[in-house]
Amino acid sequence: MQVQAEGLHDEIIRLKKKTDTIILAHNYQVPAVQDVADLVGDSLGLARKAGTTSNSRILFCGVHFMAETASIISPEKRVLIPDPAAGCSLSDSITLDDLRRWKKQHPGAVSVGYVNTTAEIKAELDYCCTSSNAAAIVESIPKDREVLFLPDMFLGSYVAKATGRKNMFIWPGECHVHAGITPEDVQKRLDSMQDAEFVVHPECSCTTPMLHDIASGAYKDTKAKILSTEGMMKHVAKSDTKNFVVGTETGILYRMRKENPDKTFLPASDKAECQFMKMITPEKVRDSLLYDKFEVSVPPETARKARRAIERMLEVG
């Protein structure tokens, strides 16, 4: 089995070089997919790389909206995804009609949408954002303008709290994985590990009741920080702490352990797995490279409109 896995790994490396393909993988991908990627990161970092790569093809190991974003940023590239059925429960929580009705109810409002949205939603937005720059983008909007934030209500609540924004309206969407991590899960895990630091993604439902404590730098006498996935990676690398409880999808633990072998990482919840992210397998990556499937493209007019919101996201950083 080990020999077979090594053979598949080597075949993927050979194929990506032969086909001039860069493989981008999200932090939540399975270990074997992360190991063949040219870059593993969060949505913002991967989007930036998609916009600057010199490769003629991009193979996106993530969920469908991420591949769409890459296609919008680099329309001259051929963008592939190993499994087109890899969707996102958060992205599915708002439709184009929903957004248009909401905007009519708030004329003059500035719409800010999380990158976890479809291309047609992005085309209706003023700004796109990721968890790492959402607060900075909202801060950049004039204080007297209403803000419509979508689709994640937990990230939206965090941003409203972090910015002190009073005229911000939040769409009631959620990521089923992050919403399933409870304060009870976190406390149980923290109780099992001495001197642990708690890092948590702002999409987590547990951030709402914990928000005040975490924002002040502590949670029930535990050091705690709300961070994007890439923010987590940077923080755990430089922290003097040796033990961490991690409140996000469990896929990131592989990279954390790989890059920080002297530290211990436990998931806030063992159940925090995204079945969509896990749909991408090394076999599907190999087949995508070998048979040139499956291409992700966005209609030109939709892409043109969406590019404006995405470019604003990349400018803010």
Annotated binding site for iminosuccinate: 26, 43, 114-116, 131, 201-203, 229
| The total number of residues written for the chain in this structure | 317
Query: Which amino acids are annotated as binding site, given as ranges?
Result: 26, 43, 88, 114-116, 131, 175, 201-203, 229, 274
**Residues 97 and 282: beta-carbon distance below 8 Å:** no
CA dihedral 4, 253, 91, 215 (to 10 degrees): -170
**Residues 128 and 66: beta-carbon distance below 8 Å:** no
Cα separation of 7 and 76, whole Å? 32
DSSP 240-300: S--EEEEES-TTHHHHHHHH-TTSEEEES-TT---TTGGG--HHHHHHHHHHT--B----H
What is the token pair recorded at 225?
């920080």
Query: Which amino acids are annotated as binding site for [4Fe-4S] cluster, given as ranges?
Result: 88, 175, 274
